[in-house]
Amino acid sequence: MRVAFDFDSVATNRYSGFYSYGAGLLRGFGKLVGRPEAVLFYSGRFEDTARRFKDEYPEWVTLRPSAVKARMLENIWRYVNYPSLEGLIGEFDIYHSVHHLMPPTKGKPRVLTVHDLRRYKLKELYSHSKLWRFELAVKRADHFITVSQSTKNDLCEIFGIAGERVDVIHLAADEDLAVLGEAEKNKIKSRLSEAIKRPLDKYVIAISSPDVRKNIARTIRAFKSAVKQLPAGMKLVLAGIRPKEFDNDAIKDCDEDVIWAGPVDNMGEWLGCAEAFVFASHYEGFGVPIVEAFSCGVPVITSNRSSMPEVAGGAAVLVEPNDERAISNAIAAVCSDEKLRNRLIRTGLERKKCFSWEKTAFKTLEVYKKVLEERV
């Protein structure tokens, strides 16, 4: 089987969920017997990123760079079904889009992975979104993969798509993530302290993003409210970029308690040394960081909305993301109640066994086979 992949969206940003998905899926295929041949279609400017995957899997990854940028092709394909993808990259059996690039084909089936519908479910946060590319991809796709049952429900509800056209395939965390020993944690904390130029011992961690749905301002205020109930010296570490429209009052008089780490490459180390992970997002299509924290043996506090209860599977403390007091109480409980902490660590480690990129790849391959059989 020869599968053509939309690789532009993967290669654009190695910190993005699209990169994690594309890289994880390819590495999952690498562990399968009877794996498909992967043809990576991408703009020539991403040659270096694509070449790394080719070098890793030389026998079954083929590169097909385009001299024309994907965005320009997408603008053309909005109006005309030319050129076909076969004319650009040669023959293949099925096309898989991991974002919204949906080229015309000569009758070959097209599969679209839908990661989330946040721009439809949280319209007040994304009022300026340009959705025609995604909506055109939905219109033209023959079959869909969603990363959670929650996202499938949203897709079917918003676009009126029949459930049998959608398969749910969960994502996974990096398999290199693991529980750290105490001696290793101490060494890592010493190194992290040098990186941020502040002493670092006990801390709760959250992931910050320009996307305000991550609920960082409320997370900071909740932590501040919980400080008096926490073990002495407990900090809140925020890894990532500050939200574009940040509520500065959230960190007023709180600088000693909050550490902004900025974007980090070694997220596994930051997570692995934390006392707890707070992920009180308003909406997630899946929520890979939940599984990452489970893999590191870190207790998780997450939202009771969208896919997060589905991914947590009873192994996390669930909170209403708009309820600051609930988030604060959860932080206090997880950091102070040793029995609760141990239960969350144990159940989290069991829950993470449900997710692997090999499982994701195997189920994706089964979808390819099903879609191709339906065409016969």
DSSP 36: P
Q: What is the pLDDT of residue 249?
A: 56
Give residue 246's pLDDT. 63
CA distance 134 to 101: 8
Q: What percent of the chain has pLDDT over 70?
A: 97
Q: Are residues 116 and 232 in the same domain?
A: no
Q: How far apart are CA 277 and CA 300, in angstroms?
A: 5
Q: Which tokens hold the place of 226?
A: 């919980």
| Residues 131 and 272 both lie in one domain | no
Query: What residues does 301 pair with on adjacent strands?
Result: 278, 317
- Three-state SS string over 67-98 comes to CCCHHHHHHHHCCCCCCCHHHHHCCCCEEEEC
Q: Assess if residue 111 is contained within a domain.
A: yes
Domain range spanning residue 314?
Answer: 182-352
Residues 339 and 362 in one domain: no
Burial class (CB in 10 A: 0-12, 13-18, 19+), 229: middle
Pair (365, 340) in one structural domain: no
Task: Give the pLDDT band (50/70/90) at residue 114.
Answer: very high
What order do you get walking across the sheet with 317-319 strand by strand? Answer: 258-262, 235-240, 203-208, 276-279, 300-303, 317-319
Residue 127 lies in a domain: yes
Three-point CA angle 49, 114, 50, nearest 5°: 10
pLDDT at 127 over 90: no
What's the rounded mean pLDDT across residues 113-125?
95
* Residue-level pLDDT at 253: 46
Q: How far apart are CA 372 and CA 93, in angstroms?
A: 8
Asked if residue 370 has pLDDT above 70, the reply is: yes
* Residue 313: inside a domain: yes
What are 357's two structure tokens?
């990129």
Residues 247 and 296 in one domain: yes
What element of type H or E holds 327? helix 324-336
Task: Write the CATH number for 44.
Answer: 3.40.50.2000
Which segment of 135-149, 229-243, 292-306, 333-347 scores lowest on mean pLDDT? Answer: 229-243
Mean pLDDT of 134-147: 98
Band (pLDDT 50/70/90 cuts) for residue 251 is low
In-domain check, residue 137: yes
| 279 DSSP 8-state letter | E
The answer to whether position 275 is within a domain reads: yes
198 vs 39, which has greater pLDDT?
A: 39
What stretches of 90-215 show up as alpha helix (H) in DSSP?
A: 118-121, 132-140, 149-159, 182-196
Of residues 129 and 159, more confidently modeled: 159
Outline where the chain has alpha helix (H).
Answer: 8-11, 17-29, 47-56, 70-77, 85-89, 118-121, 132-140, 149-159, 182-196, 216-226, 267-272, 288-295, 308-312, 324-336, 338-352, 357-375
Q: Judge if 148 and 257 occupy the same domain.
A: no
Indicate whether 312 pLDDT > 50: yes
Instruction: Read off the pTM.
Output: 0.95
pLDDT-derived band at 272 (thresholds 50, 70, 90) equals very high
Closest CA to 219 of 265, 266, 267, 277: 277
**What are the structure tokens assigned to 186, written together?**
């101490």
Residues 248 and 325 in one domain: yes
> Is residue 99 domain-shared with residue 234, that is, in the same domain?
no
Band (pLDDT 50/70/90 cuts) for residue 353 is very high
Residue 82 maps to a domain: yes
What confidence tens digit (pLDDT) does each residue in 64-110 have? 999 999 999 999 999 999 999 999 999 999 999 999 999 999 999 99
Are 134 and 18 in a shared domain?
yes
Let me know if residue 177 belongs to a domain: no
Q: Is the pLDDT of residue 245 over 80?
A: no
Are 118 and 259 within one domain?
no
241 pLDDT more than 90: no
* Number of domains, the chain: 2
Residues 6+ apart with CB under 8 A from 165: 142, 143, 144
Among candidates 133, 6, 25, 19, which has minimal Cα distance to 64? 6
Residues 320 and 371 in one domain: no
Please say whether the beta carbons of 170 and 310 come within 8 A.
no
| Among the listed residues 355, 241, 238, the one whose alpha carbon sits nearest the alpha carbon of residue 292 | 355
Please report whether residue 256 resides in a domain: yes
Residue-averaged pLDDT of the chain: 94
> Are 41 and 139 contained in the same domain?
yes
Residue 250 has pLDDT above 80, yes or no: no
